[in-house]
Amino acid sequence: MLSGERVHLRALEPADSEAMWRWYHDPEIGRWMDTSPPISLAQNMDKGANRPRNTFEQMLLGIETLQERRLIGYVALGDTDFIHGEATVQSIAIGDRDHRHGGYGSDALRVICRYAFEQMGLHRVMLWVVADNTAAVRAYTKVGFVEEGRRREAFRTQGRRHDFLMMGLLSSELK
């Protein structure tokens, strides 16, 4: 069971595709994510119905509240390298506006990292974050991630360039 203090992580269902489509189109979330050409709700529903099976190498999980079992976001872990014992948090978002800034994202990140360390036997989890996304940087730091590097002006949004931070967490550092 992938549960924390506030959230439970689970495989996404095709029925979750409509919520995911709404979140992708939320300017507050999309501001800090790589953009792709827009797709219709029908295309996203089809994508959700044909989503690849989760594997240890690549997984996309829904974040739902423990009490209500309400889907509020998602987290993706991938690029798993079992030889070197590491993986990358490719994305994490609390899409439901009512649950942002309430510790749900930090809890979900703790849960996926604990899973990576304890169940998958990994030693390190890393991620990239836009340096100016202070809420995300604060959440990652709260879990134990530390800045390991910087790609200067590597991300562009709304006509401005921002630095990317590479952050890492070792299995012994999880808070």
Question: Residue 118, Cβ neighbours under 10 Å: how many?
Answer: 11
Using the structure block, give the residue that is written with the tokens 């490719």: 90
Question: In DSSP terms, which residues pair with 60 in a beta bridge?
Answer: 76
Q: What angle do CA 41, 75, 16 make, to 5 degrees?
A: 30
Q: Is the pTM of this model over 0.85?
A: yes
Q: What is the pLDDT of residues 97-127, one digit of tens each?
A: 889 889 999 999 999 999 999 999 999 999 9
What letter would DSSP give residue 3? B
Tell me the mean pLDDT in the region 6-11.
Answer: 96
Q: Judge whether residue 78 has pLDDT over 70.
A: yes
H helix intervals, 25-173: 27-30, 41-49, 104-114, 134-143
Residue 47: band (very low, low, confident or very high) from pLDDT cuts 50, 70, 90: confident
With beta carbons less than 8 A apart as the criterion, state whether 130 and 32 touch. Answer: yes
